[in-house]
Amino acid sequence: MIESSDLRLTRMPLNNGSGQMPALGFGTLIPDAGVTKTATRDALEAGFRHFDCAERYRNEREVGEALRAGRAAGRIGREEIFVTTKLWNSNHRPERVEPAFEASLDRLGLEYLDLYLIHTPFAFQPGDEQDPRDQNDNVLYDNGVTLLDTWRAMESLVDHGRCRAIGLSDIGLNDVVPIYASARIKPAVVQVEAHPYLPETELLEFCKEKGVVLLAFAPLGHGMKPGLLEDPVISAIAARIGRTPAQVLLAWAVQRGTAVLTTPRTAARAKENFNISALPEDAFSEINRIQTRQRLNEVVKTGIPGFIAR
Ligand SMILES: NC(=O)c1ccc[n+]([C@@H]2O[C@H](COP(=O)([O-])OP(=O)(O)OC[C@H]3O[C@@H](n4cnc5c(N)ncnc54)[C@H](OP(=O)(O)O)[C@@H]3O)[C@@H](O)[C@H]2O)c1
């Protein structure tokens, strides 16, 4: 358990020596372009320095613009922020990886990426259609490429110098292990849904043993109600220590040794979600004892994103 009271400053070293990831990250899965821009600016102003993007979110351009404007206003250097984006399922063929990476860099307006993730282990039919379907609305998967083929192309990006680290997302331990074993450049980060209802303990143990950062999404249960933000244990702890349920959930995530992504859409919530501090040990243990189990996003089973409109 991490005990530093200022969890906002927690940084996690990456296993390839390329730098450190700020544990508390801002996620950009925001469907509205205007809100993407204001929320990204607000997050930067509140103190967030880690930004999680994806070509599939279709807003890299807006995130890039907001980061440029916000950095200029706050005199924040490129090295002070950590930017991730993700390769979508329809770009798994090795020859499509570098063009997809370059297109993301171009939309974000960046010279390099701190981290590039394979968004899911599921390859869809290659092409520019992000959601390829047959007449019966079934997803068209691509059996002509393996995850290891795609991983090898990701490794080449690191060799070419414009991508500092690579990793996986929406993947279970059984699929992480063989990639980790065969990789020349080991995954630095694994991004998955994780919160007190889905603690992913085995995966976290594996990651800690190998020095891989587990990056948790949906730490607030994706804001669903009823859900984690109204859980009686979380609410009681929040009232007892004078914090909000969101602050309790984010602090728990960082204290247990994961990095975490959250998506506040207003300036007030950005400040609230950035302003986290360590939970007392008894509160931390109480959250670990929560027995409810719930997965909110089935993307890990199908590659079809749960929180993104088609
Ligand atoms: N790899 C993947 O497949 C994957 C999948 C999902 C997400 N992600 C990443 O993870 C990021 C975070 O995921 P998430 O959106 O599920 O995060 P989350 O922070 O668990 O949930 C966001 C929701 O919580 C609400 N919220 C935020 N701050 C709050 C607060 N202080 N009090 C009450 N409600 C609050 C927001 O409500 P309002 O809308 O009202 O502000 C929003 O609906 C995404 O942006 C994305 O970058 C990755």
116-146 pLDDT, tens digit each: 999 999 999 999 999 999 999 999 999 999 9
Q: Provide the b/e sequence for 15-28 (b: ≥16 CB within 10 Å).
A: beebbebbbbbbbb
Structure tokens at 173: 């331990």
Distance of CA 3 to the CA centre of its chain: 23
- Percent pLDDT > 90 in the chain is 95
pLDDT at 3 over 80: no
Binding pocket residue ranges, ligand 1, CB within 6 Å: 27-29, 52, 169-170, 191, 217-223, 229, 244, 246, 261-265, 269, 272-273, 297, 299, 305, 307
Average pLDDT, the chain: 96
Residues 6+ apart with CB under 8 A from 286: 233, 237
* Cβ 80 vs Cβ 289: under 8 Å: no
pLDDT at 266 over 60: yes
How far is it, in rounded angstroms, from Cα 144 to Cα 15? 31
Residue 57 designated active-site: yes
Residues 6+ apart with CB under 8 A from 157: 97, 98, 101, 116, 163, 166
How far is it, in rounded angstroms, from Cα 224 to Cα 51? 22
* pLDDT attached to residue 6: 82
174-231 pLDDT tens trace: 999 999 999 999 999 999 999 999 999 999 999 999 999 999 999 999 999 899 999 9
pLDDT at 2 over 70: no
Mutate to test the pocket of ligand 1, among 56, 263, 302, 308 (most ligand atoms within 8 A of CB): 263
7-60 pLDDT tens trace: 998 999 999 998 999 999 999 999 999 999 999 999 999 999 999 999 999 999
Find residue 84's DSSP bridge partners: 52, 115
